[in-house]
Structure 1
Amino acid sequence: MKQLQNVWQDKVAVLSLSIITVTTVAGIFAPFVAPHDPEEVHMELRFASASWEYLLGNDHLGRCILSRLIYGIRPSMLWVFAALLLSVSIGSIVGVLAGYFRGKTDAFLMRVCDVILSFPGYVMTLAIIGILGVGFENIIIAFVLIKWAWFARIIRTSVMQYAEADYVKFSKAIGASNLGIMIRHIVPVTLPDIAVISSSSFGSMILQISGFSFLGLGIQAPEAEWGMMLNEAREVMFSRPEMMLVPGLTIVIVVSAINYLSDTLQVVLDPKLMTSSHKLQGLETASVVKLEGKAGA
């Protein structure tokens, strides 16, 4: 509870959480929040300026930019979050098994992870897209096939810290099953680490999916997605810079909020970082007091 209070005392963290919450809710209820159909074409409103009916104006086909921005939350954020959950789930299972059993199980699973991680992520993603074809679903599949190995390696390291703890040895001594020990004793203590690495990866995955869509490898027209909106506005970036500014700022704001909230969670959930931050604040306060004392003298 005290840790949660520290989060609520951080105004920037609260603002970041509010941005993420509002964006997520808007994406879930996009049909009710968006003022217009995002795919409805009005050529007479082509490149129209902002008005009360179209708050952010219209694009090159006269479509409502605000509506497309809201519907773009679903692929850019919600579907990426679903891919993240699936990747973390697979990586957690593999990491817990490898870190708990060790030996041959650990060696086999980690060699599989080494093979996957030996190739650059973007190269592997492009290779999978080349095999499966262009499309948003294929990018999500590529993310899951690549990301789980990275999560498995990190979670394995976390599990190994607790697998030899006294309470785990005691559970084995009284005849508890390996599955029961992993569920009751190993998984709960690794949840903070899983939460931190998941939140830190969320922002980078949003940037990656937007980047692939910007290159034309993700969602295809006429569906809305932030990266594709940037791609569509590329041809008029000098004559109509606001067309790129809206989706670009949205990506920057959302990813910045996610990254800051991730950093806050890492400090809150890791007592060592919390202690070091308090020490740093104490040293800064002491330095200020000394300087003021010298000035007063």
Structure 2
Amino acid sequence: MKLLRQLCRDRFAALCLCFLTLVAAAGLLAPLLAPHDPTAVQMALRYAPPSASYWLGNDHLGRCVLSRILYGIRPSFLWVLVALALSVAIGAVVGFLAGYCRGWTDAVLMRICDVMLSFPGYVMTLAVIGILGVGLDNILIAFALMKWAWFARVIRTSVMQFADADYVKFSRTLGVGHVRIMFKHILPVALPDIAVISSSAFGSMILQISGFSFLGLGIQAPNAEWGMMLSEARSVMFSRPELMLAPGVAIVLVVSAVNFLSDALQTALDPKLFASRRETRPGLAAAAARPGREVA
């Protein structure tokens, strides 16, 4: 809650958070918000310009571009969020075990992470897709399999900073169980760091899945996805540039909002960065100085 209050003091970060929340809501409610069926082919409306019924026009098969943008939120944003959550969960379990238990447990788990991290991420993702086949499900599986090791190593470092704290040692002396110590004493203080690394990876994962779909390795037709929409509009990029504009702007806005929010999270967690931002942004300083509000 304290972290959320600090984010809300930064108007731009709050704006990015609200924008991403609206994007997620639009993806969940796409069947209700989309004006037309995103897969309905109407060759009579092929390359039709924007109109009252089709706000963003129609593509090469006469499909509603706006409806496809809304439905494209699901694979490009929501399902990537699910893959990110799965990767972070696996990485958190491994990172907590390695950072808290130390010894041979840490050595074995970190050697496994070293093996996973020794291969280039894109190459291994392509290898997994080549083995499992193209499709959104296989890309998400590849993300979960390849990215957990990076999260595990970063989370391990964060856990090791708190595992030797006095209150943790005192809890061990009192006979408190290790699982309870990790959930009650270490997880709450490590959670902000996990949020920062997760948000920083989220934007790159969106770009990656859009890139794979652009190459034809991601979600397959007739389903909608932003990267695939860009690929479909390549042949008319000079005569009908607006067909690339809509999905391109959607990717840029979402990834930019995620990156700005990640930067705000890092600033909120670093007292020095937060203080410097207060000095350069009078509005934030005034909000932080109001009575009854804490400043990190």
Q: TM-score, normalised by structure 1?
A: 0.92
Report runs of 4+ in structure 1 exceeding 4 Å deviation.
278-282
Corresponding position of 1:59: 59
Counterparts of 1:59 and 1:280 in 2: how far apart (Å)? 46
Counterparts of 2:216 and 2:260 in 1: how far apart (Å)? 29
Corresponding position of 1:285: none
Counterpart amino acid of residue 110 in structure 2? M
**Relative to structure 1, is the Cα distance of residues 132 and 2 closer, same or farther in structure 2, using a 3 angstrom cutoff?**
closer
Q: CA deviation at 1:4?
A: 3.7
Counterpart amino acid of residue 47 in structure 2? F
Counterparts of 2:167 and 2:9 in 1: how far apart (Å)? 35
CA deviations on 1:205-229 (whole Å, 9 max, x unpaired) are 0000000000000000000000000
Counterparts of 1:280 and 1:98 in 2: how far apart (Å)? 40
**Relative to structure 1, is the Cα distance of residues 275 and 12 closer, same or farther in structure 2, using a 3 angstrom cutoff?**
closer
Q: Equivalent residues in 2 for 1:255-266 (5 A)?
A: 255-266=255-266
Corresponding position of 2:46: 46
1:223 matched to 2:208: no
Task: Please provide the CA RMSD for this pair.
Answer: 1.6
Corresponding position of 2:154: 154
Moved more, 109-118 or 175-184: 175-184
SS of structure 1 residue aligned to 2:69: helix
Moved more, 270-279 or 260-269: 270-279
Moved more, 129-138 or 50-59: 129-138
CA deviations on 1:182-208 (whole Å, 9 max, x unpaired) are 111111110000111111111110000
Corresponding position of 2:30: 30
Counterpart amino acid of residue 11 in structure 1? R
Corresponding position of 1:184: 184
Q: Any unmatched runs of 5+ in structure 1? A: 283-297
Corresponding position of 1:106: 106
1:75 matched to 2:69: no
Corresponding position of 2:287: none
Q: CA deviation at 1:16?
A: 1.1
1:203 matched to 2:203: yes
Counterparts of 1:3 and 1:136 in 2: how far apart (Å)? 34
SS of structure 1 residue aligned to 2:222: coil
Among all aligned residue pairs of Structure 1 and Structure 2, give the percentage whose two residues are the same amino acid.
Answer: 68
Counterpart amino acid of residue 29 in structure 1? L
Counterparts of 2:115 and 2:47 in 1: how far apart (Å)? 49
Q: CA deviation at 1:280?
A: 6.6
Q: CA deviation at 1:278?
A: 4.3
Corresponding position of 1:125: 125
> How many residue pairs are counted as aligned between the two chains?
283
Counterparts of 1:14 and 1:181 in 2: how far apart (Å)? 33
